[in-house]
Structures are given as structure tokens and as C-alpha cells.
Amino acid sequence: MKPKVHFEVIRKLWPHLKEFRFRLMGGVLLIVVTTSFDLIGPILIGRAADAVVATPANVNLLTKICVGFFLVILFKAISEMLQAVTIQTTGLLITQRLRLRVFERITRFPMAYFDEHSSGRLITRVINDVRSLSELFTASMSVLALDVMVIIGTIVAMLILDLKLAGLILLTFPCVVWAIAYFGEKLSEAYREARARLSEINSFLGENVSAMATIHRLGAQEARKRSFEGIVGHHQEALMKSIHAYAQVQPWANLLNGIAMATLLGVGGVWVIQGKVKVGIMVAFLAYIRNLFQPIRDLVEKYNVVLSALVSAERVARVFDEPIEKDSLGKVPQISRPCGLKFQNVSFTYQTREEKALDCISFELLPGKTMAIVGATGSGKSTIARLLLRFYDPTHGTIFLGEIPLEQWPRSTLRKHVGFIPQDVYLFEGSVRDNLMLANAELSDLYLIEQCKKAQVWDFIEKRGGLDLVIDEGGHNLSLGEKQLLSFARMLVLDPEVLVMDEATASLDNASEARLMVAIRELIKGRTALIIAHRLSTIESCDQVIVLEKGILKEQGSIPELRKQQGLFDKFYQLYQEGPPC
Amino acid sequence: MESQSNSPEKNNSFGFLGLKKKIKDYPFSRFLFKYKSPYLKGFFWLLFVDFLNIVQPLLVKMAMDALVPGAIRAVIIAAVAYLVVMVLQSIGRYWWRVYLIGTANYVASDLRKELYEHLQKIPLMRYHRYRTGDLMSRATNDIESIRMALGPGILVALDAVIMFLMLVPAMLWLSWKLTLLTFAFYPLVPLLTAKIGNKVDFFFEKMQSRLSQMSAYAQETFSGIRLIKALVLENHSDRKFRQLSAEFVNEGQRLAKYESVFSPSLSFLTQMGTFFILFFGGKDVIAGAISVGTFIAFQRFVVQLSWPMEAIGWSVTMTREAKAAERRIEQVLQENSVEDTYPAITSSSLEAELEIRDLQFGFMQEKESGFSLALNGLEIPTGKKIGLVGPVGSGKTTLFNLLLRLYEPPPGTVFLRDKDIRTIGLNELRNRVGSVEQQVTLFGESVATNLGMGLKRELSSGQMEQALKVAGIWEEVEALKGSLETFIGEKGVTLSGGQRQRLALARALLRQPELLLLDDCFSAVDVECEQQIIERFFEAYPKLSILFSSHRLSVMPRMDEIWVMESGKIISRGKHSTLIRNCHLYRSLWRESEREVERERLETGEILL
């Protein structure tokens, strides 16, 4: 049952590796060559022994054999080097290919996938699983192939040299196979357990290494340490089990090796004395038995590597099974600038939740106009933004961008036209310049600085290295407001037709607040913009307002219109209008 | 006999003189000393097995020599003896494996625990310089390298040395001439090891650092995937990843070249030994100088020699990898831990009365913008409830971190009952000064375990219930499938944000602190609920001093005093009624917060009803 599953996995991954088939075959071929040189060696040694004991001794023949032997070991060394280079390089290339494919594939998964998988787990796929998988094709494959080849070759050579003696010695061979199968199963069970325990250790570390501040606050070091010691202890036990299991396999191989040798020395020796077998054959057999048992030991050793590689292979294969975001491949729609957008009876439900996030929403935003979305947390504001960017597709209804239904837009084109500023600013590691230019390397510094100035962020960064200021991981060296303004500058550089912005809620001091407003005005100038607004000043700079409540569109219109309706919006507009209680 | 006593001297170059230093230099050698007894036992069994290894060819020689005169008895004896030797060897092999490899597992476990324990002691300011992924990799991959070095690595190295030391005398005993011929090319070995080994080392480390770059880049990409997709940067990130990957492969290919030359050339050198024996040994047999048995046994000795040769390569690689791993682990272990050696203070002398005198604090690495905190003459008298308000980034969280010594304040600036908090044991300080942060972290354990996390004493379910009631989450906990024993998933994912915050409050209360720091810890709880919790909580803990910050100011009127913070300074303090008149910043914060609250109420429909 199990081997079948394994083959299935390899079959799935094969298309990605197909182009390496010649390299792999080359590696196998070199293994065959190396092995055959290995098999010739003992025969030559045996011949030499025969030449030596012959009466009269044949010095000439001995010299010839020795020259032959030298050539054999020389060529063997060469083919071994070629084999090692080929296999290692192939391994690297396979690793690289798979790693890129897995990475590319993951980044193209729909957002829903990322909602369910932590980034830590995804990194494991890209880095560790791929490495372990490529070992399957290189280290394990080469060793396995080599070992199997040596075993088969040796058996064949022995049978050819002396059928009877070989048959007698190989009587133990079925026992060897049985012992390996029996103990191997026990061993792999133990290894499985150890691996499971190790992943417990890793997930504990993952949780706690990132929660260190809390551990300090609680003074929970002792308790956490004890928990960790418990987990480590379990792992330790499992490992010891596997060591005992392994330690049991090796002596068996050793014992069977001993029986084979004793048979050779005893029975073979008697036959030599009786003249039934030549000394040379016996000498060659001495080397062959060694050849036979070494690879068996190796095989046991490699079994575990192969098993864990197959586990990784399965995980990697699953990445390829997972569907990526479907995209329309038709011709790319053209839009005029600025362009409008329209929601028509749009409903949406998240896979992970039951209630509708949006319920039959319809509104239209004319080209160049701006609209504020107002509503409480969970009213569906962010969902509108996510649908517009096609992170998710609506369950019902249609969204139009410039008269064209959203499904007809390839996501990449769509997202180039629709710029998105999320609430949590995310900056990439690297310089300010890297963050502004992103994929576009042809922008002049002058232009970038101009955009920074428009976004009101230039005087913050100018003195600290300007465009060369390096932003560290998580952007700890910039303040929240600075980061936000920088993300505005980035959007100005990208210059999309439509802007979707999720305004940050954080309260800022007055000076920063004023700065932010100037930047926002700059940002929406000449663009169609949809803003999830939290500040009255932002709302007031928009042409239209929609009010959402629990996924339902409650009110819609310009500020004066909505005020006239004296509904929800009017209530909080009044609240905002009231001066401070003095 | 003579040759045997000679051999150790002869092999000085192989390690006897520098042995002690060599052992000390071995990665994490202290564990070798710690586990001396199992290592020595393993060493004994290794000696035993290797000795039997030497006996084998001699038995073969015995059999072969008996063949020529035709002594069947001797042949049979040799065969039986061979079998016995192999049986004994099997036993020996079992034990050295258990002792040597098994002990390495203990070492790895020890090291893992030690590393984790130390991570917990590093001051947070320094700790946060490490990336999570990086620390993870040290605690997993690097420790695995150490395990390999201290188990299989040591085994292989010892085995090689022992084999070598035993083989040479045995070979000399059989024929000194053939022995010399065998070793004719061996001086090349150290040369080869040094030359190629260094390159291997160099490229290996380069490759590892490229790998960790790739891993970091993948981390960044996956955690920022929403923005990557929004900005259509998929292709860009592919390109960058491909570039990193290509660099990795480049280093890898160079490494592959050197590695592939290394082991075949070593094995070629041993095979050359076989070649010489075949030729010169063969001639000796013909000349009658040695027997056929010696000739054959010598072949086998030379074959056995190939193992120590191969082992050199192995153990060199493993040791080098382990060395690199040791450096990376040691780097973390060398991080100074927060000193925590102060004697405990008797509890009567320490009632919360916090005082801040002339506290100045900045993050050193940023010179110009360097955000800094400058506070003076602040105090929290016993039982007083203090509010802390200010715009985002004004330094509230930094202040909290300083009071808990998560960041170390300068000496003589923060006092708890006239005692500099730098002279109070960390655990004691944090037991007396409780805290709940905005980004609550819970652990993947049961509710009860989370509540009692880090507490020395056992909590009764009554105590837990009471705290949970004050925090306004008892009913929700009770409704869980297993009540207090319910498992809440990794980082508490099965709970909502508000539930997590309230659970964290209960956790803090159960520690019976004298001062409680609440850093905007009700951000995910709705206004009504927050008000209720605060009422209940102030009533239940009249003697508890509190420093409470919140972006929602609705509970501020309940506070005995409010500190208004801007750009790291307290610009104003007083009661709500005073501040609302006198302080412009407070007024605008209050106004904004009230609107937010009203809006929230409006939206949830409460006002309309």
C-alpha cells in the first residue's frame, strides 16, 4: 500500500523535474560505471593470488594484472568524481527549480489560503521541505541506486565465478532481506514518532519565541521552561527508541555477514584443499562478501532519510494540488482615465464565517469622484475594498470597473489600475527608494523626491539619509505617521486610476493630523477614490458617502443630501459638529 | 610488542600530543566532560569492536595459510572463530551505538533547553534584534548539526583514530615493507584535507547564509502577501527570490566541485595501497618472503584502512558544520542575561508606591530622530487609579515597558516604595507589577493553565472564577466545552480579540499585583462592556494601584488623576474635570474619543432603539 502512495507523489512532481531527466540519467550511468569498476577489482585481486600461488609463479602475469588494477582504480576515481559533481549539481538545480515553483505558486494562491496557513508553515514548504525532497532525488537516489547496483552486481559476479559456492553463501541472503524488512518497519515506526515529537518542539518554539515579551511580563519563564523540558523529554524518549531500534538492525547485518564469511572460509577452504575451487576465487569472494554487506548497512541508514523525504514530497505535492487564483486570460480591457466603478447587487460570505459580510450592495461612483464609506467595525467596509481588488470574488452580483465586469479583468491589470492603501502600513525591508520604486527601476530620484514632498514625508526622511534611508524589519525606525505618509508617497509613485484606501484609525497630534490631510488631498486629486473613512475631515473632502451597517447599505448620497434625510449619518455628523465641551 | 609500543609515538601527528586541546576545541566539548561516563563506555565498546576488526583479517590469514598445506582442521577452526568474532562484534556494535549516539541526543536536548532558557533571559531590547525565524533556525537546524558532531561525528572520528592506531601495528607485525608501501602516498592526505577542506568550509558557510537570506525573504513576502498582491508585485518578488536562489546555487555548485574531488581522491590514495601490495606483495610471495595468507590479510587491512580515510572527510565536514552552528548558538548564549540576583524583599515593606524621578530614555541607535522619554516627579500612591492618555507614538507603551524593566531604565529613576526597581528581582518586580498589553498573547494550553501561567502557587477554580467574573468573561468561559480546561489553540486562536483581552486581564488579576499596568487593553472590547468591567474591577480591588492607558477616554472621569503625554513628556496632569478645561490636547483627544464612542453606539443601533 505505502509504496504505491509514494510513487503517486513522485509521479505528481515529475513534470517539474522532467527537464533534469538527462542529468539524472547521466548520474545513474556514472553510478553504473563506478560500480562496475568496483566489481572488476576483486576479480583482479583473485587473479593476482592465483598467479602468485601457481607453480611456477607467473611474474609476468602478475605485472599485467597490477597494471590493469591501477587503471581500474584510476578510472574509478575519475568516474566517482564525475558522478559526485553530476549528482550534487543536479540536486542543487532540482532544489532551485522546485523552490522557485513552490514560491511562485504560493504567492499566487487566493487570499483565503493565507487566511488559513501561517507564514511560518509556508516558509517550511519553501525552504525545508524542498531541500529534503531534493535529497530524495540526489543523496538518497544516488546512494540507493549505487547500493542496489553493488548488491546485484556482486551477486551476479559471484554466481558467474562459482555457482555452487556462491549459492551456498547466498543462502543467508533471504534472512538478510527478512531481517531488514522486519527491523526496518520497527525502525521507521520509531523514526515517525521522533519526527512527530520534533515538530512539537518546533511549534512550541514558534509560539514562544515570538511571545517573549509576554513571558517576561508574566514572569512565566520557569513555567514555560518546564513545558519545553517536557516536550524535549518526549522527543528524547522517541529518539532513544529509534536508536535502540537501529542498534538492533546493525548487529543482525553483522551476524549474517559473519555467517557468510564463516561459510566461505570453512566450506570454501575445504573445497580449495580438495581442489574443487581455485584460491583466486576464494580471494575474490572475500572482497565480494564485504561488497555485499556494506551497502546493506547503508540501505538501512538511508531508509529514514527516504521516509522523511517522502513526507516532504507529499507536502510539496500538495502545494501543486492547491488551486491558484483563476484569472481571465482574454484581451486586457482598456479604460479611460479617470474611470468609474459600480457595485451591482453584490453579496459576499467569507468561507470561514456563516453570516453575510455584504448583503446585496449597489452603488455607483462616477469617474473622478470620491466616496467615503462609513460604518462600524464588521459592517463590511474592508470587504468592499477586498472585493474591488479581487482578493475575493463576490458570491452574488457584479462589480464593474469602467463598465467592464471585474471577472473580465486579469487580476494583475486590475490591481495596477486600482491602488490600495491598507490600514496597517506595510513597508518592505530595504531603502526608502526600494520601497517607492518597487518593481519599476526606471524612476529618477528627482521624481521620487517630488512624490515624497507631495506626501509630506520628505522633511522627515531628508536628514536621515533621504531615499537611502534603510527601513529595518517591521519598520521600527520610523514612526507610525511617517510610515503612513511614506505609503502615500508610494501610491503617488504608482499613480493608479482608482484609489482604495483604508484610513488608519490612530489618533495623531494636531500637527501630524494637518499634514495627513494635505497628503490625502494630494492623493485623491484627479482620481476616482473609495475611502474607508474614520475622520470627519476626510469624509468632508469626499463627494459621496455610503453608510454601511452589518453588511447592508443603509444610506447613500452627498453630505447635504444625507443630512437632509436625518438618518444615521446626520446623527453622527451632528456629533462631529459639536464643539468641545468648554 | 616493540612495534606496538612504537605506534602511538609514530602517530603523534595524528593527535596524541594535541589531544587535550583538540578535545577542548571540539564544538560544545563541555558536554563531552559532562557525559564522561557514557562517552567512555561507548569508547570502550568501540575499542572492543575495532580490536575484533583487526582479528578478522588475521583469521582469514590463518585459513588461507592452512589452505596450501591442506590442513582442514585449521580451516574449520578459523571459520568458527570468525563467526564467534562477528557475534561478539554484533554485541559491541549495539552498545557503542546506544552509548555514543544516544548520548548525543541527551546533549542536543540539554542544549535545546539551555538555549531556550537563555532566550528567556535576554533583555527584550536586545532580544528583539533577532528575527523570530533566525532564532528558530538556531534552535533547530544548528542544534541538529551539534547533535551530529557530538554523536556520529565523534563516533566516526574516534573509530577512525582507533582503527588507524590498531591497524598500523598489526600491519607492521605482518610486514614492515608492505606497510611502508601502503602508506607511501599518505602524507598527501593532510595536505588534501587542508587545501580542499578549507574551500569546502568557506563555500558551505556562504551557502548557509544565502539560504537564510532566502528564508527571510520568503518570510517577508508571505507575511506581506496582501500588499504584494495589491501592488501586483508577484513577478517582482519572484525575480528577487530567483536572484537569491541563483546566488545560493552558485555557491552550491562551487561547493559541489570541491566536495566531489575530495572523497574520490582520498579513496584513490587508499586504493593505491592495494595496488602496491598486489604488485610488491605478490612478488614477495613468489620469492617466499611472505605467505599467501599474509598477502590476503594485508589486502583486507588496506581495505579496512579506507574507512579511516573516508571518516576523515566525514568528520571534517561534520565538525566544520558544527563549528559554524556553535558560533551561532554561542552568540545567543553570550548575550548578557538580565541580572536577577537581588534578594527578595519581604512583602510588608513593599506596597505599591511608584515614583519616577528624572527618567530619560532613548533608543540609542537613532541619533537624530531618537525618540526619547523625559519624565520627572511622577508618582502613583497606593490604591490610586491613574489614567494615561496621549496620541499614538507619544511614548505610553515605552513607559510601561520601562516600569516592568522590559526595557532597562537608567539607575536611580524608577522607584517602587523608595527602592530602585533595578535592584528588585525581575520575577518579584513583575509579580508585584502586573500588566496587560494591547496585543495580548495567550498560549496554546488550557484556559486554566493560561491563567496560572508563571505562578508558583496553585489556583483554585474558585479564585479563577472570581477573577474571570471581574474581567467579565466568566460566562463565556463557562460556556466552553471543557470550561476552564478547554484548550484554546495556538496563541488562543479559538477566542475572539475581546475575549483574549479579558482573559489576559483575569490572568493579571490572579497574580495579585500591587500595581497593575493596563496598556490600552480593552481596544477590542465594546464601550459598555469596558465601563462595566472597570466599575466592577475598581470596586473589587480598592487597594490596587493602576496605571491605565486607553485610546478611548470614556472611563477617564473615573480616574483619580490623568497624565497627558505628548512626545515623551507629561504635558499636563490632573482630574478629568480640570483637564477638560485647561488642556487643549486632552480636550481634543476626549472629543475625538467621545465621537468614536457615539458612532459605535449609533452603528450598533443602541441609540436608535
Mean pLDDT, to the nearest integer, of B456-460? 77
Q: Which of B68, B86, B134, B457 to mutate to test the interface with A (most CBs of A within 10 A)?
A: B86
State whether B109 and A236 contact (CB < 8 Å).
Answer: yes
DSSP letters spanning B331-349: HHHHSPPPP--PPPPPGGG
The residue of chain B with its CA nearest to that of A427 is: B224
pLDDT at B363 over 80: no
Contact A220 B70 (CB under 8 A): no
Which site among B84, B243, B260 would you substitute to test the A interface, given the most A Cβ atoms closer than 10 Å to its Cβ?
A: B260
Is A367 in a helix, a strand, or coil?
coil
**Which residue shows C-alpha cell 540609542?**
B364
- Residue A384 makes CB contacts below 8 A (sequence gap 6+) with A343, A358, A361, A373, A530, A532, A548
DSSP-based three-state secondary structure for B320: helix
Please give the grid coordinates belonging to residue A263: 561459510
Pick from B49, B60, B75 the residue to mutate for testing the A interface (most A CBs within 10 Å): B75
The pLDDT mean for chain A works out to 81
The yes-or-no verdict on residue B365 having pLDDT over 50 is no
Residues of A in contact with B292 (CB under 8 A): 49, 52-53, 279
In chain B, residues 209-248 whose CB comes closer than 8 Å to chain A: 211, 214-215, 218-238, 241-242, 245-246, 248
B158 and B286 co-located in one domain: yes
Q: Determine, yes or no, domain membership for B43.
A: yes
| CA distance linking residue A104 with residue B411, whole number of Å | 52
Q: Would residue B391 count as lying in a domain?
A: yes
Confidence (pLDDT) at B81? 92
Whether B139 and B69 map to the same domain: the answer is: yes
Inform me whether the pLDDT recorded for A458 exceeds 80.
yes
pLDDT confidence of residue A352: 65
DSSP character at residue A580: P
Q: How far apart are CA B401 and CA B389, in angstroms?
A: 16
Contact B60 A422 (CB under 8 A): no
Q: Do B139 and A270 touch (CB under 8 A)?
A: no
Is residue B75 a contact partner of residue A273, using CB atoms and an 8 Å limit? yes
Q: Does B582 touch chain A (CB under 8 A)?
A: no
Question: Any chain A CB within 8 A of the CB of B597?
Answer: no
Query: Are β-strands A418-421 and A430-431 bridged in parallel, bridged antiparallel, or unpaired?
Result: unpaired
Where do the structural domains in chain A lie, given as residue ranges?
Answer: 1-162+309-323, 173-276, 341-577
Is 70 exceeded by the pLDDT of residue A473?
no
Same domain, B101 and B164: yes
Q: What is the DSSP letter of B350?
A: -
Give the residue from B334, B362, B387 where a domain finishes.
B334
Burial of B346 (0-12, 13-18, 19+ CB in 10 A): exposed
Domain co-membership, B55 together with B158: yes
User: How many domains in chain B?
Assistant: 2
In this prediction, residue A475 carries a pLDDT of: 64
Is the CB of residue A409 less than 8 Å from the CB of residue A430? no
Which residues 363-382 in chain B show a CB within 8 A of chain A?
Answer: 365-366, 368-369, 371
Contacts of A104 in chain B (CB under 8 A): 234, 238
Q: Which of residues 69-98 of B touch A (CB under 8 A)?
A: 70-72, 75-76, 78-80, 82-83, 85-87, 89-91, 93-94, 97-98
Give me the percent of chain B exceeding a pLDDT of 70.
89
Q: Under CATH, which architecture does the A341-577 domain have?
A: 3-Layer(aba) Sandwich (3.40)
B514 close to B433: Cβ distance less than 8 angstroms = yes
More confident residue, A393 or B491: A393
Of B117, B131, B268, the CB nearest to A77: B268
As a whole number, mean pLDDT of residues A180-207 equals 80
Q: How far lies B298's CA from each of A486, B238, B287, B308, in Å?
A: 77, 59, 17, 16
Q: Tell me: pLDDT of B12 over 50.
A: no
- Fold designation for A1-162+309-323: ABC transporter transmembrane region fold (1.20.1560)
Q: How far is B16 from chain A (nearest CA, A)?
A: 30
- Nearest C-alpha of chain A: how many angstroms from B474? 21
Question: Which class for B548: exposed (0-12), middle (13-18), buried (19 or more C-beta within 10 A)?
Answer: buried
Return the CATH number at B598: 3.40.50.300
Antiparallel, parallel or unpaired: β A544-549 and A370-375:
parallel
Interface of B with A in 331-370 (CB under 8 A): 365-366, 368-369
Cα B281 to chain centroid distance, Å, stands at 56
Flag whether B132 is in a domain.
Answer: yes
User: Does the structure show a pLDDT above 70 at B371?
Assistant: no
Band (pLDDT 50/70/90 cuts) for residue B44 is very high
Q: Which amino acid is at A356?
A: K
C-beta separation of A246 from A187 below 8 A: yes
Looking at chain A, the whole-number percentage of residues with pLDDT higher than 90 is: 4
Helix (H, G, I), strand (E, B) or coil at A498: strand
In a domain, B245, yes or no: no
Q: How far is CA B322 from CA A302, B14, B105, B214, B227, in A?
A: 21, 21, 15, 21, 39
Nearest residue to B398 via CA among B587, B574, B569, B560: B569
Q: In which residue are the cell numbers 534578594 written?
A: B343
Q: How far is B487 from chain A (nearest CA, A)?
A: 15
Q: B165 and B60: one domain?
A: yes
C-alpha cell at B413: 529613576
- A295 preceded by cis ω (within 30°)? no
Contact A254 B300 (CB under 8 A): no
Strands B515-519 and A341-348: unpaired
Note whether B138 and B57 are same-domain residues: yes
Residue contact A509–B454, C-beta within 8 A: no
Say if B285 is an interface residue toward chain A (CB within 8 Å). Answer: yes
The CATH number of the domain where B126 resides is what? 1.20.1560.10
Question: Which of B222, B257, B603 shows the shortest C-beta gap to A85?
Answer: B257
CB contact under 8 A, B393 and A261: no
Q: Provide the ipTM.
A: 0.79
**b or e along A459-469 (b: 16 or more beta carbons within 10 Å of the residue's beta carbon)?**
ebbeebebbeb
**In whole angstroms, what is the distance from residue B511 CA to residue B457 CA?**
10
Residue B253 lies in a domain: no
Tell me which residue range forms the domain holding B407: 349-438+512-603
Helix ranges (H only) for A210-266 are 212-218, 221-263
Note the Cα B113 to chain centre separation in Å.
8
In angstroms, the CA A145 to CA B570 distance is: 74
User: Are B278 and A65 in contact (CB < 8 Å)?
Assistant: yes
- Select the residue of B227, B279, B608 nearest A422 (Cβ to Cβ): B227
For the stretch B288-341, pLDDT in tens is 888 888 888 888 888 788 777 777 777 877 887 788 888 888 888 888 776 655
Q: Indicate whether B220 belongs to any domain.
A: no
Q: Is B587 helix (H, G, I), strand (E, B) or coil?
A: helix
Q: Tell me the pLDDT tens digit for each residue of A285-326.
A: 888 888 888 787 777 767 767 777 887 888 888 888 888 877
Burial class (CB in 10 A: 0-12, 13-18, 19+), B13: exposed
According to the model, what pLDDT value does residue B153 have? 85
Q: What is the pLDDT of residue B10?
A: 38
Contact B418, B350 (CB under 8 A): no
Domain check: are B143 and B66 in the same one? Answer: yes
Cβ neighbours for A166, distance < 8 A, ≥ 6 positions apart: A155, A158, A159, A285
Is the pLDDT score of B192 beyond 60? yes
pLDDT, residue B7, reads 38
Is residue B53 scored above 70 in pLDDT? yes
Q: Sheet containing B515-519: which strands, arranged edge to edge? A: B433-436, B515-519, B545-549, B385-389, B561-566, B569-574
- Indicate the residue of B113, B131, B587 with minimum beta-carbon distance to A473: B131
- For β-strands B545-549 and B385-389, DSSP reports them as parallel
Question: Does B194 map to a domain?
Answer: no
Q: pLDDT at residue A78 above 90? A: yes
Cell 594484472: give the residue: A65
In angstroms, rounded to a whole number, what is the distance separating the alpha carbons of residues B522 and B526? 8
Contact B139 A209 (CB under 8 A): yes
Encode pLDDT of B529-561 as tens digits: 788 888 888 888 888 888 888 877 888 888 888
DSSP-derived secondary structure letter, A378: T
Q: Which chain A residues are within 8 Å of B335, Cβ to Cβ?
A: none
**Does the residue B80 lie in any domain?**
yes
Residues in chain A within 8 Å Cβ distance of B295: 49, 52
Q: pTM to 2 decimals? A: 0.72
> Which of B222, B257, B175, B1 minimizes the C-alpha distance to A104?
B222
Distance from the Cα of A487 to chain B's closest Cα (Å) equals: 11
Q: Read off the pLDDT band of A207 (50, 70, 90).
A: confident
Distance CA B206, CA B200 (A): 10
* pLDDT > 90 in chain B, percent: 2
Question: CA–CA separation, A373 vs A532, rounded Å?
Answer: 5
Report helix, strand or coil for B517: strand
Q: Name A358's bridge partners.
A: A348
Q: Is B504 exposed, middle or buried (0-12, 13-18, 19+ CB in 10 A)?
A: buried
- Region A340-359: what's the mean pLDDT? 83
- CB A73 to CB B272 under 8 A? yes
> Band of the pLDDT at B19, cuts 50, 70, 90?
low
Residues B150 and B49 placed together within one structural domain of the fold: yes
Looking only at the bridges linking them, the beta strands covering B569-574 and B561-566 are antiparallel
Cβ(B354)–Cβ(B383) below 8 Å: no
Contact A293, A147 (CB under 8 A): no
Among the candidates B280, B302, B334, a domain finishes at B334
B569, B375 Cβ separation under 8 angstroms: yes
Q: Report strand pairing: A418-421 vs A498-502.
A: parallel
